[in-house]
Structure 1
């Protein structure tokens, strides 16, 4: 099946009160697991490669991207490729040639005016290349290297600190001033959580949804309980990013396999167990998100493109 574009998946979801699951991938096993899980669920999916994942792969985007393209083209469900949390302009400019239809340009670490200026420049370039572009306003938290607006230290920002949440009025101005196609909002989720205890501010989400006409994105979704995810989609989230939940599933399955078989050395055996565990988690999460459209009527949000 030809590669889908992220906008072709997310915009209709926003218009119909549903959400697309977007999973961050690090290895070929992640890619295969996400596609297998989406095929089992009979659902379209977004494969995401983050700047951190590129850094892990010796700073080279193409090996993992080409693997993702090859796997996606053989999938029986629509699959789109998204370059996630991009801060490097050099990496941004590699996206179109590597098969990505969309980019999340992350200047949220900067003061508001600088975030707007940097994002506007990224949007102008991305739109000229036919890319759908997402940005972030507020501090989702959970990523080192961000001390909050205007800082770039090593501490992890607090997603619950004053000023961390996305302000609806500022978000409206930001979207108008940058021309972004989607906005990641800070409503209480945190990146890299290994417990599912994040409490989302659903009242704030409702206000953001009413204020904005672009699809809203939830980052840090691995730490959100199932009911919270369902309510978030019902409240206006159209793209749900998941990463840590897959890593936890893979690591847990491999750890259990090796503990029971200390003599094992064939990596194919334990990687296959980890891949299967991730695929099951993908199918499960897609099923959770599928419960949300029953909770709300279709919105007057963005029309399909």
Structure 2
């Protein structure tokens, strides 16, 4: 079916008090696994390509974007394309022609006023071209190989009052909030601050996004969705499934040289992870 827009999926999810699952993809096998898993769950889904994934592909956005578009157009469920954690303005400007309907512009590393100015400029540019834009306020932790912040470290939480002002002044369509998760977690031990989420939900009139969701247990994810999270980003969980399945297959079949054998096993493992996590977020 034709590509849908991220904004349309999240607007519908927010109105229904549910969430859109959004999975970060690196390879074609990731793309195919996410689509297959979403089809098995009967759920719409967002395919996300991060700036790091683009850098891994030699700085070229179009090869993976074109593959994701082709897979989405053949999918039996609604699929949207989202460009994730963009810091490079040139990459931002490549989003519309590459088929993306939304961008997460990440200036959260900057001091507040600089973050606001950069995000405002990005939002103005994106909206003029019909793009839905997400930003981040409060340090989620774990990006670019840095260790995740302690749950109570300064800067590890999003302040509701600051968030309200930031959304109003930047004009963004959604906000990723720091409530206790961290990027790149390989254990599901994160404890979310649900009281803070409640305050953020009351303070803001845009959809809220949870990053670093691979490290969040099922019950915490369900509670976050119930508390107002409308988009849930997942990436590391797919990589854990892929790598674990490939390791197991190669250990059992040390003579294997055809990559299709172990890629197929890894793709199937990722698809199963997608289906399971969608059932956690939106139900069977």
Q: Same fold (TM over 0.5)?
A: yes
Partner residue, 2:103: 103
Aligned-partner SS, 1:63: helix
Tell me the distance in 1 between the aligned counterparts of 2:217 and 2:171: 32
Q: Helix, strand or coil for the counterpart of 1:93? A: helix
Residue in structure 2 matched with residue 191 of structure 1 by the alignment: 183
> 2:245 matched to 1:245?
no
Alpha carbons 2:176, 2:208 under 8 Å: kept: yes
**Residue of structure 2 equivalent to 1:128:** 128
On the 8 A contact 2:148/2:182 being kept in 1, the answer is no
The aligned residue for residue 298 of structure 1 is: none
What CA distance in whole angstroms lies between the structure 2 residues aligned with 1:87 and 1:156? Answer: 20
Q: How many residues in Structure 1 have an aligned counterpart in Structure 2?
A: 283
Distance 2:71 2:114 in 1: 38
Structure 2 residue aligned with 1:296: none
| Pairwise CA distance, 1:15 | 1.3
The 8 Å contact of residues 189 and 219 in structure 1, kept in 2 or not, is answered as yes
Alpha-carbon separation, structure 1, partners of 2:109 and 2:15: 30
Match of 2:266 in 1: 274
| 1:140–1:159 Cα contact (<8 Å) kept | no
Gaps of 5+ in 2: none
Would you say the 8 A contact 2:36–2:271 is kept in 1?
yes
Query: Normalised by the size of structure 1, how large is the TM-score?
Result: 0.91
Distance in 1, Cα, partners of 2:272 & 2:48: 18
Cα deviation, residue 227, structure 1: 0.2
Residue in structure 2 matched with residue 42 of structure 1 by the alignment: 42
Counterpart residue number, 1:158: 149
**Aligned with 1:144: secondary structure?**
helix
Structure 1 position 16, deviation (Å):
1.2
Partner of residue 236, structure 1: 228
Displacement of 1:163:
2.7
Counterpart secondary structure, 1:285: helix
Q: Which runs of 5+ in 1 are unaligned?
A: 146-154, 293-305
**What SS does the aligned partner of 2:239 have?**
helix
Higher RCO (Cα < 8 Å, 6 or more apart): 1
1:26-175 to 2 correspondences below 5 Å: 26-144=26-144, 155-156=146-147, 158=149, 160=151, 161-175=153-167
Distance 1:144 1:130 in 2: 29
Following superposition, the deviation at residue 290 of structure 1 comes to 1.6
Instruction: Report deviation, 1:144.
Output: 2.8
CA distance in 2, matches of 1:204, 1:29: 37
Q: CA RMSD in A?
A: 1.1
